[in-house]
Amino acid sequence: MSSTRAIAVITEINETDETNLFGSIHDFCKELAEYTETKGGLFYVASLAMYTGHERLGYMLENNRWVKTYVPEADCIYNRIHSRKTEHSPKFQEFLQHLQNSHIPIFNERFLHKWEVYYHLANYDYLCPFLPETQMLTSKQTLEQFLAKYETVFIKPIYGSQGKKIFRIQKKENHFLLQYSTFSMEKEQIYPSVSALFPALKERIRQPVIIQQGIPLQTYKSRPVDFRLLCHRVNDGKWKLTSAVARVASEENFVSNVARGGELFHINHILNELYEPGINTSQKNFLKELSLEIAAALSASTTGLYGEFGIDLALDTRGKPWIIEVNTKPSKNFDTPLSAKRIRPSAKAIIDYCTYLINKKERDFLDFLRLFNDPPTSRTRIRNGNCETSLSLRN
């Protein structure tokens, strides 16, 4: 950075626990702070209330400790608020309006829910072959249609995360087997018909849900496997891959989320186990290319700025890739640094993108000043009897 610029993370803060002030992103914020310092910038973490209060407060890293202090207005903000309720609150909307009026960029402005992500991606013909058939589940008829077409279907809350509250329905010879990803005791129930199954589902569903085609996933040691690819924005139009891991479901669960007992592996380890040499490399490259295409498509078709996506992909038993989910505020537990002294690529990518946005804002402002102070002159040229007027800026 050419001069001191302030970068802020806005998130929930637990001030009763100094060792874990920022919850799941506590360690990640330390890496952000350390990398910002190497770039000559100022970094702090604040809650929405702290940032918008009468006196702006935040936590800055000093001598390896987070210290609460007065902080300047940020030049760029990375939104890591984990509550959708907070994002929908009038306070947060006022905050966004203030940032807009002050020309302060914010990225990862809000969560994109599952149906929204599917809707946007389905508008791209080249991505449609990799999307499981998905609809909003609003009627018994929709459930019947999906179960008539597929041996397995999933029902997911559109605002869900961490593999919670997901239903899997399997069509058996003379009944339907219902499994629920967060039951602690009775995990399975059997229903003789869709007519019996649908009311039972209705009783348990408390928010809008999608119904999705089940995919016969590749397995590792008889456990389903998927892949989390972390993509970060470099500038306005370019994305890069910063991390790729494989997730293997636990023996007791059909979802691979680490929060539900899933296990992380290096992507190369799993692909090497599943495929012959050469094919494993081509599969890895295809997953990478697909994730970058998804990131570019989604960021181009949504409002607001997005600087990172956690993209969940899977391979079916024939080796075909499928898009499972896209997370707009991905977990920081998938790409942990190899040592305590290492700053992971995803942390560097976030600060580099903040730096880009700040520099772009400054360039745009200078361009505006040049235009305001040096208005265009009109030049008229006569060509073959026609009058052509063009505008040019004086040097």
Domains, in order of start, for the chain: 6-111 (3.40.50), 114-128+217-328 (3.30.470.20), 133-213 (3.30.1490), 358-392 (no CATH)
Average the pLDDT over 236-246 and give the result: 92
The answer to whether the pTM exceeds 0.95 is no
pLDDT at 20: 94
pLDDT at 263: 84
pLDDT at 384 over 50: no
What the block records as the tokens of 6 is 């302030």
Share of the chain above pLDDT 90, in %: 73
CB of 331 within 8 A of CB of 310? yes
- Over the chain, what is the mean pLDDT? 87
Q: Which of 28-32, 205-209, 242-246, 338-342 has the lowest mean pLDDT?
A: 338-342
pLDDT at 338: 47
pLDDT at 330: 92
> 354 vs 381, which has greater pLDDT?
354
Q: Classify residue 255 by its DSSP letter.
A: -
Going by pLDDT thresholds of 50, 70 and 90, the confidence category of residue 186 is very low
pLDDT at 385 over 80: no
Average the pLDDT over 164-191 and give the result: 80
CB of 65 within 8 A of CB of 53? no
pLDDT at 180: 82
Which candidate, 64, 58, 65, places its Cα nearest to that of 9? 58
pLDDT at 242 over 80: yes
Share of the chain above pLDDT 70, in %: 83
Which candidate, 141, 111, 57, 9, places its Cα nearest to that of 325? 111
